[in-house]
Structures are given as C-alpha cells and as structure tokens.
Amino acid sequence: MHKLAGVRVGDSSPVRIMGIINTSPESFYKKSVFTDKKIIEKTAKLMEEDGADFIDVGGMSTAPYVKTLVSEDQEIKRITNAINAIQKVSKLPISIDTCRAKVAKVALQLGAEIVNDVSGLKYDKNMINILEKHRPSVIVCAYSNKIINGNQVMQTRNLVKQSVALAIKSGVSANEIVVDPAIGFFRRKAQGVLFTKINSDWLQRDVIILKNLNQIKGRYPVLVSVSRKSFIGELLDETDPEKRLYGSLAAETFAALNGADIIRTHNVKATVDVVKIVKNLKNLKKGL
C-alpha cells in the first residue's frame, strides 16, 4: 500500500488533490503567488475546506522558460514564512517543492513531510543525505541533464526509474515514493536550469505522456501537474495563464481518466469537482 505523508495514494485509493502555494513572485501564474502570512493562512484554510489532501509549498519558480534562480537563503526565508502560516490553520500534510538540499532540510525540520523534487534528486547531490536523515515521503520528477531522444514514453519511464532508485538507496520506503512525468519541463531550449533538453516537439511530448500515464508509472502512483501550464496555452492559443482555467480542468479530467493518482493544482475546488465526476462516472459504468 502506497502512502504519501500517511495518506493512501494509488491502487484503489481516490485520486488525491495537492494544492499549490507559491511564495515566489517570479512564478508564471501571478495569482498563485502568496507572500503575506495572513493571505497564506486564508488560502491554506480554504484549500483544506475545499478538499485538498496536501499543500505543496514552493519558494522558487521552476518554470523552464524564465530565469528564476534565487539564492538558497531567499528560498528558505520564503518557505519558512509559508510553512509557519499554513501550520497555524491547517493539519494537511505539507510538501516542499525544491531541488535544493538546504531548503528541504529546513522545511522538514519545520514539519513538512514530503519532498517534491523536480530534478528527481539529481540537481543537488546533498539531497540524498537529507532523505537519509529525515526519511520523508518523496515525489520524483523525470529529469535529465543530458539530451533525451527517442521514444518519449520509454525515456520518461527510464528517468523516473533512475530517481526512484536514488530515493530507495537513501532509505526512503518504496511505498512512500510517487513519480511525476514532468509535464512542461521537456524543452528544445529554455532560460531556466531545471529542464530536460529534447530535440523533438515539446508540446507533442506532453500530450503523448498524458495519454500513456499507466505505462510510465509502473508500480508507483503518478502525480500530474498541468494546471495553467504553457502546453494548455499552446493548445488554446492563450498566452495569459489566468485564462487557462477551463483548459486546465479538461487536461486534469483527461489525466484522471488515464491513470493519474494525484493532481497538483492551483484550482482546488474545481479540481475536486472534476475528480468526483470522473470517479462517479467510472463507478456508474461498472455498475451497468
């Protein structure tokens, strides 16, 4: 039985919802950015009331198409403020969205229970030491610092396997690992450092991955994060992330139907409704 911070995920469990709280003004979707403690408290409380299972806190944007690198001290300051605020009003497990070991260490010491690393534990060599010491639940993203060619489904599966192996080597239980196929992070070129270079079309890659989630996850639950992302914008011909809600919900529905076990989203209430409808329609079909 797989669990993420004690919450059952995958297998016969319901599709879980992870709400996003960004504390980085550099983030691509400005309405997801919260820096004031009172607003963070209000947002976290609402996410819990709306049905979120986890809250994911980020202190540095990882969008590959913008320069977003900030100092570790700045990232730590941001996530410390957010975690303290969330804990005042919510009992939901907190996930720390970081690829840097020092940041993860501080977050775990403050009470975060999940490390969500978009580099699949490959960016910061010291991350393994932090996992060894704290043994959190882990979300590993498909990532490579080399060019990836060929079958994107198989390549993505291989990359998450590498990161799963790193997590297990650090002592994290195999039952507390979730994989993420990295929608939006495979690019021909980018300004950020946290992306995987490919020579094929990135939009086509993301669509193919969403169609083949079950092939990628293997025995591990899979998390999908598509909310407001640029591939939604490309499909809708919409440059403003604020106007990508309906497209995001459609993509989240597609992901839930295709095997997603956790959906990471900016739109908790709406995504909870999406997942509820998918579940009910699936159950109705079985009963006919």
pLDDT tens-digit profile of 36-46?
Answer: 899 999 999 99
Supply the pLDDT for residue 283.
Answer: 81
Q: Residue 182 carries which side chain, given as an amino acid letter?
A: A
Provide mean pLDDT across the span 109-113.
98
Q: Output 251-256 pairs: Cβ under 8 A, ≥24 positions apart.
A: 251/210, 251/226, 252/224, 252/226, 252/227, 253/277, 253/278, 254/210, 255/210, 255/213, 255/224, 255/226, 256/15
Least confident of 51-65, 97-111, 266-280: 51-65
122 pLDDT higher than 80: yes
Instruction: Please name which of 61, 64, 70 lies closest in space to residue 191, comparing C-alpha atoms.
Output: 64
172 pLDDT higher than 70: yes
Supply the pLDDT for residue 135.
Answer: 96
pLDDT-derived band at 58 (thresholds 50, 70, 90) equals very high
* CATH code for the part of the protein at 3-287: 3.20.20.20
287 pLDDT higher than 70: no
Supply the pLDDT for residue 258.
Answer: 94
Supply the pLDDT for residue 20.
Answer: 94
Count CB-CB contacts under 10 A for residue 70.
15
pLDDT-derived band at 285 (thresholds 50, 70, 90) equals low
